[in-house]
A and B are shown apart, each in its own frame.
Chain A
Amino acid sequence: DVKVTQSSRYLVKRTGEKVFLECVQDMDHENMFWYRQDPGLGLRLIYFSYDVKMKEKGDIPEGYSVSREKKERFSLILESASTNQTSMYLCASSYPGPGYEQYFGPGTRLTVT
């Protein structure tokens, strides 16, 4: 079974803090994604990566950066957390190609106070 794990299920941070969210997958997937999920808005893509050290902006990259130093690990970084970044963050991975669905991690619920 594909396993995608995220470093924390719940996280509370203060405004202005630097926040790291880590995601690890064990299936040798090339593609990895970070989404945020907000009520009524569905999932919105923040960044994705199709190879080590390769990244592309999604639809809402402002305020976020990412790092992929190893194939299995994809990190999301909030350089200076703000209250409007309070959300559920979901990591996903997949093989490249249209026939492959994404596998999602359990999510990290981040609260910024």
Chain B
Amino acid sequence: ELKVEQNPLFLSMQEGKNYTIYCNYSTTSDRLYWYRQDPGKSLESLFVLLSNGAVKQEGRLMASLDTKARLSTLHITAAVHDLSATYFCAVGVSGTYKYIFGTGTRLKVLA
């Protein structure tokens, strides 16, 4: 059974600081996604990672994938208040259309 664990679950950080959110998954997968959810809103796609060593960057966020370690990271550089949200990783179950989501990391950036 594919399990996806994110840590930390909660993260409070000062503006201008760097931090990393981790997403570990338990079995082989051919695709990994990161989403953002603002309070009371739906999920918005951030990154799609499909191969070992894949790295994607958008603004202050950078996502990477290590399929051998079954680990993806979402790195935040010089955080700003607008990045406050809940971030989810989702892993595709190989051979199916299914996705398993992590429990989410609630990020709060303090001014």
Residues of A at the B interface (CB closer than 8 Å) are: 31, 33, 35, 40-45, 48, 50, 56, 58-59, 90, 92, 96, 98-107
Contact = CB atoms under 8 A, between A and B. Distances in A.
Contacts, number: 54
B42 interface: yes
B42 A90 contact: yes
A99 B98 contact: no
Given A48-B97, A102-B99, A90 B43 contact: yes
Contacts of A56: 97
B25 to A, nearest CB: 13
Interface of B: 30-31, 33, 35, 41-45, 48, 50, 88, 90, 92, 97-104
Contacts of A33: 99
10 contacts: A33-B99, A43-B43, A43-B101, A45-B100, A56-B97, A90-B42, A101-B35, A102-B90, A103-B45, A104-B35
